[in-house]
Amino acid sequence: MKIALLTCQDLADLLPSDQKLIPLLKKHNITASAVVWDDPTVNWLQFNCIVIRSTWDYYEKETAFNIWLEKIQSLGIKTLNALETIQYNKHKFYLKELEQKGINILSTLFINKNTNTILSNLIPAQWKKIVIKPAFSAGSYLTECFDIEDTSLIQEKYTEHFKTKDFLIQEFKPEIKTLGETSFIFFNRKFSHAIVKKPTDGDFRVQYQYGGKYHAIQPDNNLINQAKQVVDLIDGNLLYARVDGIIIDNQLNLMEIELIEPDLYFDLAKGSRERFVQEIVNLTRLN
């Protein structure tokens, strides 16, 4: 069996943590190789399956990525996660649907593009700060934090973007600075491990590139079950799911569920890479 571990041009050889998947897969008679998703020279039909890993520029190439998804679908190549899952997850308005199904999401306003958005009329008076982000994005792209007194500044800064992109405006929770953001990682719907990510002093973004600090934790079963409730609402085969949120008073406040190309923090959780590989084996060998 041959599988493609899908990545982007800037990480053409995969992240170092993902490169270690290749020899582990080889032990199961699976030949895996790093493949750049928008490389025009690739013959996709040579692969039995595509495992999507670090396509971290997809939101910058939205049209090209959508065309690629359509191409893979027309070729009938299996992907993990499934193409239907990616289509669902790539636009963050899925949070509205999850909330309607009973999931506790971080307080969020959903702003459609091409609307005459007057933020001061929309933001609840009790909110002190907001985080604004595009609905189609990753890695804190166009994501900023503002005091609500600065709505005129936000309006001015984002007016042009509001014309072409859907946005989310979420209530900023100061707990992100002290408690951090917790990621619950599932492989084939089974809980694997959890990571807490805390921003550096003076920032609210938890990504590595902004100075975020990460460490593994062992959450209690109540929290794991709250995260599992989110995963259980997603249809189809799920090689991986990463549930991100802020835990306040033992309640998960969902920020996102990452089903396209999340970092899975293999190096912070012993045995997680092996568990991931085993679930690739299980899912690729399903009839």
The tokens for 21 are 């998947």
Examine residue 209 and state whether it is found in any structural domain, yes or no. yes
Question: What is residue 208's predicted lDDT score, i.e. its pLDDT?
Answer: 60
Cα first-last separation, the chain: 14
Are 79 and 133 within one domain? no
Split into its structural domains, the chain has a count of 3
Examine residue 156 and state whether it is found in any structural domain, yes or no. yes
Examine residue 263 and state whether it is found in any structural domain, yes or no. yes
Q: What domain range is 156 assigned to?
A: 108-171
Instruction: Give per-residue pLDDT as tens, 66-106.
Output: 999 999 999 999 999 999 999 999 999 999 999 999 999 99
Tell me the CATH number at 184: 3.30.470.20
Residue 135, helix vs strand vs coil: coil
């091409």: which residue's tokens? 114
Are 59 and 128 within one domain? no
Examine residue 158 and state whether it is found in any structural domain, yes or no. yes
Are 39 and 65 within one domain? yes
Phi-psi group of 31: left, alpha or beta (phi > 0 → left; psi -120 to 50 → alpha; rest → beta): beta
Instruction: Give per-residue pLDDT as tens, 142-151.
Output: 788 888 887 7
- CA angle at 261 for the pair 231 and 46, rounded to the nearest 5°: 110
**pLDDT above 60: residue 287:** no
CB atoms within 10 A of CB 206: 23
Q: Which residue type, as a one-letter code, is found at position 195?
A: I
Examine residue 114 and state whether it is found in any structural domain, yes or no. yes
- The predicted model scores a pTM of 0.92
Tell me the CATH number at 81: 3.40.50.20
Are 22 and 73 within one domain? yes
Examine residue 100 and state whether it is found in any structural domain, yes or no. no
Q: What is the dihedral of CA 190, 22, 75, 260, to 10 degrees?
A: 40
Give the residue among 204, 211, 245, 217 at the shortest CA–CA distance from 99: 245
Instruction: Give per-residue pLDDT as tens, 103-158.
Output: 999 999 999 988 776 777 888 989 999 988 888 876 666 788 888 887 777 777 88
Are 137 and 63 within one domain? no
Question: What is residue 200's predicted lDDT score, i.e. its pLDDT?
Answer: 80
Residue % of the chain over a pLDDT of 70: 94
